[in-house]
Structure 1
Amino acid sequence: MYLDPSDENARLFFARGIEGPFTMLNLLRFRDWADYSAHPDLAPPEPIPGHLAYDRYVRHTLPYLAASGGSVEFFGVGGHPFVGPTDERWDLVMLIRQGGVADFLAFASNEGYLAGVGHRTAALADSRLIPLVDRPLP
């Protein structure tokens, strides 16, 4: 289960020296039922499925993303891979565009944004976030 970057992941991200815009590929797998045990202050009165907790996270997050200059470029249903392990699936796939690493860090460290990140934690069983940098076609 991977929900947050490790120190090594963060080191490797910064070591890339990304300059300018980049896109963050989000591969997300939901829990059947959201687990708000780490953030009981955000828990709804009745249990909800993981995908609904993630919807709460997205609604909370969009204003902070926009304020940092970021945008959602793709938001769609995933599934089992066409190429890859047959026991793997990603319920939701997103592409988030940021103007640069500084913009991303301003977004990710914003106190208002962080106040709602518990919805993401409650929603997800597993995730992958992969920074993508544009490359011209050969």
Structure 2
Amino acid sequence: MAVDPTGAGLKRFLAEDPGGPVVMLNLLRFREGGEKSYARYSKVVGETILPRYGAEVLYYGKGSTALVAEDGREWDAVLLVRYPSREVFAQMVADPDFQAVAHFRTEALTDAVLQATAQVGG
């Protein structure tokens, strides 16, 4: 399963940019023991990298009871991160400091969804 953005995916992400801020939805499924590796990644990214880019974590929570999900399709965690723009997100992903810790995220996960969202209405 895919857990990291690809070059082609980032190009499409930027080409479809409606402008303005973007909230990225992260659905995370950890491999056994992966929470520890993800915590290392989150600490560095949350304390040093996100602030540098004007981004902020809006919500991080553990998955709980799934009311609608096929067996095995429950998510271990949900994360919402707001970025000033899609371009800023792409710049952050290319940042050498981000690249230096991204492997902790990759090692932590067996499956992930990383999806841009667009606010509906007001």
Same fold, TM-score > 0.5, yes or no: yes
Deviation of 1:82 after TM superposition, in Å, equals 1.9
Equivalent residue pairs, number:
121
Say if 1:50 and 1:122, in contact at 8 Å, map to a contact too.
yes
Counterparts of 1:116-127 in structure 2, within 5 Å, are 116-127=101-112
Aligned to 1:43: none
Larger radius of gyration: 1
1:28 maps to 2:28: yes
Q: CA deviation at 1:89?
A: 1.5
| Paired amino acid for 1:131 | A
Partner residue of 1:81 out of 62, 66, 77: 66
Percentage of identical aligned residues: 31
CA displacement, residues 75-113 of structure 1 (integer Å, 9 cap, x when unaligned): 001145322323211111000000001211121111011
Is 1:133 the counterpart of 2:103 in the alignment?
A: no
- 8 Å contact from structure 2 (residues 22, 118) kept in 1: yes
The structure with more helix, counted as a fraction of residues: 2
Match of 1:57 among 41, 48, 70: 41
Could you tell which deviates more after superposition, 12-21 or 128-137?
12-21
Moved over 4 A (4+): none
Q: Name stretches of at least 5 consecutive residues in structure 2 with no aligned partner.
A: none
1:68 to 48, 53, 57: 53
Structure 1 range deviating more: 69-78 or 98-107: 98-107
How far does residue 3 in structure 1 lie from its aligned partner after superposition?
0.9
Aligned residue type for 1:53: S
Q: 1:85/1:15 Cα in 2 relative to 1: closer, same or farther (>3 Å)?
A: farther
Code of the aligned partner of 1:29: R
TM-score, reference length from structure 1: 0.80
Contact residue 31 and residue 109 of structure 2 kept, 8 A: yes
